[in-house]
Amino acid sequence: MTGRPPEGEPEDAVRGEGREHDVPGQRAEHAAPREGRGHAAPGEGRGHAAPGEGAERAAPASLPEGVRERALSAPLPAYVYDLAGLRAHAASVRAATPVELYYAAKANPDPRLLAALAPYVDGVEVSSGGELAHVRATLPGVRTAFGGPGKTDEELAAAVGGRPPVHRLHVESPQELLRLAALRRETDVLLRINLPVAISGAALRMSGPFGMDPEALGTCLDLLERAPWVRLRGLHAHLASGLAAAPLLEVAAQVLGWARTWMEGPKEVTLGGGMAVDYRAPDARFDWAAYGAGLASLRRAEETLRIEPGRALTAYCGWYVTDVLDVKRSHGEWYAVLRGGTHHLRTPVTKGHDQPFTVLPAEGGPARGGPVASGPVTLVGQLCTPKDVFARQVPVDRLAVGDVVAFALAGAYAWNISHHDFLMHPKPAFAYVDL
């Protein structure tokens, strides 16, 4: 499992698709709020269209009070997690989705977040032996589903032999099934299929080595017949990321239609994650109510449906907060150099977007004098690479040395996908607010 970026965040996820900040007319959507420290009032900016469903105007992210207070105290940079907000969000997702809900730990395996989510989920999806061991230690007894390509023999043995054994193992290939069967342990499996379904509007399609072509399933059935200790429970399909509720339901309908022709009688179908988070509209939310209602009408009595979202569960609860070290003009453009960088928050680089942010101006004006940027500013970190960019040419009213910048939507695929050790800068602090 080494050498491959985590599923959902490949290095070139958006290569060739055009960067979001290059889209004309969208720059102002990332603008920092106009003035003051409170910025968007609580609740302001809510009620946006769901991601991908016509969200045209983006508001700055509303900064929860506890996060704002921590943002204004040392040390910085810091990841600040809003645990109360996470619990409230998870409770609303739980209430809206009448199917089994697993959390994809790869989005953020922070133990405090896992513990906050635990009461609202039926289990945790893991994609490596490392994640499995971590989740077992953090939430003893929790149900786990183990997926991901390239499982080693050691990982398979830990999955079926550890305590508790994994609840479901997602088989990625006939070869993997053969190695699993050789362990001669009772195991419940889902076969992961890579169906050629029509998907429009996906940020990322899971093409490539993920799951099996439908033709490979016959080989699996032959193997299963000879290894009755491996029980076939159903199918798994995670086919795309970044979809709004309507297209995700269309994918679900296609997967279920296919599953019904392939497997008769009671069965489980895990429909993956991939619920969109709109980085241009940080207060918008995936339409869980529509998605849950859609799943309820798709499901048949003999079917157990399961979903395993990651990003859309934890993205909103995390903030990467730092302060401005330098402000300068270079070739006619304003730059603000921030403490830290994309070695802490890699998300804008991997996804090719501007990370939304809120500015908390320094008390009493710019610290240590120095220039004050206004208008379009590019926010960069301390790394010696032109790729160390959080947001490009974003209009601000003012940005000066000593101002604090709080980047929103930093709770998923953020710290845990970042290249922490490049240049050996200090690590960020981690703070958990629970108001």
* Sites of contact with ligand PLP (CB under 6 A): 7-8, 104, 106-107, 125, 147, 238, 241, 272-275, 308-312
Q: How far is the CB of 325 from ligand PLP (least distance, A)?
A: 32
CA distances from 231 to 26, 89, 156, 159, 226 (A): 51, 35, 15, 15, 11
Catalytic residue, candidates 384, 386, 421, 424: 384
Q: Which is nearer to ligand PLP, 38 or 150 (CB)?
A: 150
Q: How far is the CB of 288 from ligand PLP (least distance, A)?
A: 12
DSSP state of 303: E
Residues 148, 128 contacting (CB under 8 angstroms)? yes
Q: Is 323 helix (H, G, I), strand (E, B) or coil?
A: strand
Distance CA 293, CA 188 (A): 28
Token pair recorded at residue 223: 């193997």
Distance CA 298, CA 282 (A): 30
Q: Which is nearer to ligand PLP, 107 or 405 (CB)?
A: 107
Burial call 196-217: b when 16+ CB within 10 Å, e when fewer? ebebeebbbebeeebbbeeebb
Q: How far is the CB of 237 from ligand PLP (least distance, A)?
A: 9
Q: Which is nearer to ligand PLP, 19 or 205 (CB)?
A: 205
Q: Would you call 317 a catalytic residue per the annotation?
A: no
Q: How far is the CB of 146 from ligand PLP (least distance, A)?
A: 10
* SS3 sequence of 204-216: EECCCCCCECHHH
Q: How far is the CB of 344 from ligand PLP (least distance, A)?
A: 20
Token pair recorded at residue 256: 């279920």
| Residue 82 host element (H or E) | strand 78-82
Q: What one-letter code names the amino acid at 233?
A: R
Q: Is 217 helix (H, G, I), strand (E, B) or coil?
A: helix
Residues annotated as catalytic are 384
